[in-house]
Structure 1
Amino acid sequence: MYDDDQPRDRRLPLAPLERRGYGYLLDFVVIWLFSSLAAGWVRLLIFIIGWFALRVVLVSANQGQSLGGWAFDIRVVHLKMKRLPGILELSQREGILGTASYLAMVGLDINFTNGVSFLLLVAPLFGDLIWAIAEDSLGQAFHDRIAGTVVLTSRRGFSLDLRLKRFWYDLKKQWDNRQRRR
């Protein structure tokens, strides 16, 4: 199940964990908004179709980038082959992450009215996050480790996080200049 002889290439431009989180969050919110239009089994069906379309089909057609990956300049690469993962690897990866995400979505819908259920439903997603934090060399989350993938930075994308940081810096600079003039 775990391949201990995976190459540990330190020269890979690994994506920072916060960028990976932002990209995931953007994809999750988009799919959550669409699936929240329905209820019951239809909601689950919309979530599965949306997740598969956004995180498998789009990634395989878009050089390893989903909507969130494009927005934050990250891409998924097969670790051993150093290329775009196949449909099987992406389906494995996103099947694990999609299940954890759907459970988290249900937990967030319950919110804190039933705290124990909320914690139990959100726990798999947090477990995956903790796995990525604890992974020392490649920062692979559980779903990445199973599928043999790694998330790298990319030159191709929108750089939303950098644009927002720059916008915030410019806004703060303008505010400081106005305060000095008074």
Structure 2
Amino acid sequence: MPRYRDRLPRVPPGRRGGALAIDFLCVWFLSSFAGAFWQIPAYVCLWLVVRVFWVFRNQGQSLGRWALDMKVVNERYGRVPSLLALAKREAILGACTLLLVVSVNNLIRPTGVLNGVVLLAVIPLLADVALAFGDVEKRQAFHDRLAGTIVVQTRRGYSLDLKLKRLVAQFRQRVRR
């Protein structure tokens, strides 16, 4: 008989990327109001609130995961991970996205650093999520493996991806007429 965690439906890496993008853009937007000096501390605090504490209190869903019908669960038990596991997971992912924030801010506000070199800050994020594309069975990124978590599909959410697909299909039908 298959174990419970083996029966959980895994989420494709593209949808996971969409949820990460929603969370990243929300946190980045809110932290941008803090000013140039306080933006990085504000980003770190908001990232922890949105991706650790909110996820712990909201059945494993952040805003992006809720919008795309997925949640993060403990790999072993299929339940919401502990705060420590979520903090480990999001510390790695948060550091990678923080490098992305710094690189994009340097592209927007040149500070003497070569703009092309700043784009190299994206490499840790790409290396982290590349494992999810290579792992066909569990679809775990590096931060998932380290924290012992998996991202699974759920029925609880907004189904933004399905609604967008429906809108695109309707738009195509209207264009064909």
Provide the TM-score with structure 2 as the length reference.
Answer: 0.90
Contact 1:8 1:137 in 2 (8 A): no
Alignment of 1:103-182 (within 5 A): 103-111=99-107, 113-119=114-120, 121-177=121-177
**For residue 170 of structure 1, what is the amino acid of its counterpart?**
Q
1:165 & 1:86 partners in 2: Cα distance? Answer: 34
What's the CA shift string for 1:54-111, capped at 9, x where partnerless?
1011111111000000000010000012111010000000011001100011112223
Q: How many residue pairs get matched?
A: 170
Alignment of 1:74-85 (within 5 A): 74-85=70-81
Contact 1:110 1:118 in 2 (8 A): no
Residue of 48, 51, 54 corresponding to 2:50: 54
Compare 96-105 and 29-38 and name the one that shifted more.
29-38
Q: Which residue of 2 aligns with 1:4?
A: none
Contact 2:10 2:152 in 1 (8 A): yes
Residue of 2, 11, 30 corresponding to 1:15: 11
Work out whether 1:43 is the aligned partner of 2:39.
yes
Work out whether 1:88 is the aligned partner of 2:105.
no
Structure 1 stretches of at least 4 aligned residues deviating more than 6 Å after TM superposition: none
1:16 & 1:134 partners in 2: Cα distance? Answer: 11
- 1:34 to 1:8, Cα distance in 2 relative to 1, 3 A: same
Work out whether 1:102 is the aligned partner of 2:103.
no
**For residue 49 of structure 1, what is the amino acid of its counterpart?**
C
Contact 1:14 1:153 in 2 (8 A): yes
Q: Which runs of no fewer than 5 residues in structure 1 stay unpaired?
A: 1-6, 178-182
After superposition, the CA RMSD in angstroms is 1.7
Aligned-pair CA distance for 1:42: 1.1
**For residue 151 of structure 1, what is the amino acid of its counterpart?**
V
**For residue 40 of structure 2, what is the amino acid of its counterpart?**
L
What's the CA shift string for 1:143-162, capped at 9, x where partnerless?
00000000000100000011
Contact 2:9 2:153 in 1 (8 A): yes
Compare 131-140 and 13-22 and name the one that shifted more.
131-140
- 1:175 to 1:34, Cα distance in 2 relative to 1, 3 A: same
1:8 & 1:143 partners in 2: Cα distance? Answer: 22
Aligned-pair CA distance for 1:18: 1.1
2:64 & 2:118 partners in 1: Cα distance? Answer: 28
Decide which structure has the larger Cα Rg and report it: 1
Aligned-pair CA distance for 1:19: 0.9
Identity across aligned pairs (percent)?
41
1:9 & 1:81 partners in 2: Cα distance? Answer: 7
What's the CA shift string for 1:1-57, capped at 9, x where partnerless?
xxxxxx895422001111101000000000111112234441111101110111011
2:104 & 2:4 partners in 1: Cα distance? Answer: 37
1:172 & 1:104 partners in 2: Cα distance? Answer: 35
1:9 & 1:136 partners in 2: Cα distance? Answer: 15
